Each structure stands twice: as structure tokens, then as C-alpha cells.
Amino acid sequence: MNENEALTVTLTLDNDEELECAVLTIFETGGQEYIALLPLNENGDNEDGQVYLYRFFEGTSEEPELENIEDDDEFERASEAFDEWLDTQEYEELDLDALE
């Protein structure tokens, strides 16, 4: 995989539909790791800018595991941490553009 390719995962939804998602980042807040996923359509594009946040942890199998965030306060903490990460990404991109 070259560095321009996005890492993707396939989610299986409650209705057994599979959804390909790009991994935006894995981040930690409050001692728990989370993953931010960007759902992609069949063309590999995101149509609405919606991001999915899940608890992320190394499971007993070789594959990492995701869990829904059921608690509203926990979801709020994860959302705020993701927003902070997103702000730093936009800031870093602006800095790099200014240097070119």
C-alpha cells in the first residue's frame, strides 16, 4: 500500500449490509482508544461528510475490534477529542500549503 492509499475497514451493519469505511484516525481520550471512520460509497467517495466513532481495542483474535459507544457522556468526550484532532489536521495542512 502506498502512502496515498487510505486504510479501510468493512463494517457489517445490523441489517447485514456491508459498508466500506476509510480509517481517518485512531485516537485516545480518557484511557480508551477510539476510531473515526468515514463511510464510502461504491465509488470510494463520501457523500455526506458523516463520520462514525467507535470504541477501538485489540481483541483476542488478530483483528482489532470495534464497539458502539452507548453512553452519551462518553460519546461527547470522544467527539470532542476527534474534533480537536480534526482541527490540528486542518491547521497542519494550512501550514504546509503556506510553505509551498
pLDDT for residue 1 is more than 50: no
- What pLDDT is attached to residue 41? 85
DSSP string covering 22-79: EEEEEEEETTEEEEEEEE--TTS--SS---EEEEEEE-SSSSEEEE----HHHHHHHH
- What pLDDT is attached to residue 9? 87
Q: What is the pLDDT of residues 37-73, one digit of tens each?
A: 999 988 888 888 889 999 998 877 777 789 999 999 9
**Strand-strand pairing, 32-39 and 8-12:** unpaired
Q: What is the pLDDT of residues 9-19, one digit of tens each?
A: 888 888 988 99
